[in-house]
Homo-oligomer: A and B are copies of this chain.
């Protein structure tokens, strides 16, 4: 948190403690709504309610609410009376209101849609039909468009009269049936003769998406073409909404967090639950229990080789490092493939190259680590054969792990399972098992020299 926000937070906390509400109201009016929203999450629920109720301008309240985490927002809403919530929601752009309503308990959502004016609730119920993770789910519907038969002069007048619609920087042009047919920039309007028709000066190649396109793909398009917004059309190419770049930023942040969380077996949903430990534990447990059974299988394997282990007890001291390093290398190549898929840097056609690269990288790293651990083992237990066994097993296990990371992730991707969730427990267990098999196999080969 930067200094300015820290000062604002300290001031707000002090004023709440003192009950200096008129002063606090002034501070709210003078601050940027985004700043108020930002310090909200550092207050406890009681102070949040106090502060929120002091926001007099419903527009500011709406801004604050739409910028809050879903978790914080949901907790706060439980504390506020339904009439106020409804008023605030009606001040918000529909897409933000829908976002908040989606994360409410179902009964509360229904109650609030009941209180709303018909026009608003119709629009919101319409938007709720789209899948949350698609263009339709994140688009705003208050979109400014112009008919292609207008003159430049008429278009400028329309812009002047337009109220507070979502940022007007691209002007979308439609025909009489609301089909999207072109696009113009505001600056372009200023540089041509006022009598010309829009259809003669507009750019006809418009990058647009259909309502059912996945939000991640929408974000990739915006990033690829460096555009500030992308119009959303229905099946018949009729203009129905606009995804702006600030929505895209939210999507990218969310998708990145999701991937990071998933690979560790956590979930973005956790953020909804704030500090509710039981709900969070329930989200993480299935992944952990999968790993648990992987660990039991590894243990069973060790049990099968108990005779060898009992005979040469020094062997057990290198089990953690061999399985651990296999897990690390496998994790690295899995991570690179998972992230490569997500950013579009890797796809099925480049996978072969990635596989062979990871194989080579694994061999090199395996050679270095195998040599190191071999020397350590020799020095420690004064047996050159033990050094040889441990070093060879390590090098082989790391090489296999590197390819396993690529194969497992792409296999899961191909059969339609999210590799970010599935690859980690699988890669880990698979590497533990192959690592141990390689280790015990090599050890059995040299057993006479190890005794």
Contact = CB atoms under 8 A, between A and B. Distances in A.
Contacts of A336: 261, 264, 266, 270
B373 A190 contact: no
A303 to B, nearest CB: 5
B266 A335 contact: yes
A446 interface: no
A122 B302 CA distance: 66
A178 B173 CA distance: 38
Interface in A401-430: 428
A289 B34 contact: no
A225 to B, nearest CB: 5
Nearest to A346: B41
A83 interface: no
Nearest to A429: B324
A156 B190 contact: yes
Nearest to A222: B249
A357 B275 contact: yes
Contacts of A353: 275
Contacts of A260: 256, 259-260, 263, 335, 338-339
A361 B186 contact: no
A145 to B, nearest CB: 15
A245 interface: yes
Given A296-B321, A361-B277, A34 B331 contact: no
A59 interface: no
Contact of A303 (B223, B252, B259, B317): B317
Contacts of A357: 275, 277, 280
A169 B168 CA distance: 9
Interface residues of A, number: 108
A288 B187 contact: no
Contacts of A263: 260, 335
A320 interface: yes
A16 to B, nearest CB: 16
Interface in A244-292: 245-246, 248-250, 252-253, 256-257, 259-261, 263-266, 270-271, 275, 277-278, 280-281, 284-285, 288-289, 291-292
Given A296-B373, A313-B309, A324-B428, A332 B264 contact: yes
A27 to B, nearest CB: 15
A331 B287 CA distance: 13
A445 interface: no
Given A159-B187, A223-B250, A313-B309, A292 B361 contact: no
A302 B381 CA distance: 14
Given A277-B364, A350-B42, A302 B316 contact: yes
Interface in A283-327: 284-285, 288-289, 291-292, 294-296, 298-300, 302-303, 306, 309-310, 313-314, 316-325
Interface in A362-387: 363-365, 368-369, 372-373, 376
Contacts of A187: 159, 168, 186
Contacts of A319: 299, 302, 319-320
21 contacts: A42-B349, A159-B190, A169-B169, A169-B228, A226-B246, A245-B245, A260-B260, A271-B345, A275-B356, A275-B357, A277-B361, A278-B364, A280-B357, A280-B361, A281-B361, A295-B322, A303-B314, A310-B313, A316-B316, A319-B320, A320-B432
Interface of A: 1-2, 32, 34, 38, 41-42, 67, 69, 156, 159-160, 167-169, 186-187, 190-191, 217, 222-226, 228, 245-246, 248-250, 252-253, 256-257, 259-261, 263-266, 270-271, 275, 277-278, 280-281, 284-285, 288-289, 291-292, 294-296, 298-300, 302-303, 306, 309-310, 313-314, 316-325, 328-329, 331-332, 334-336, 338-339, 343-345, 347, 349-350, 353, 356-357, 360-361, 363-365, 368-369, 372-373, 376, 428, 432
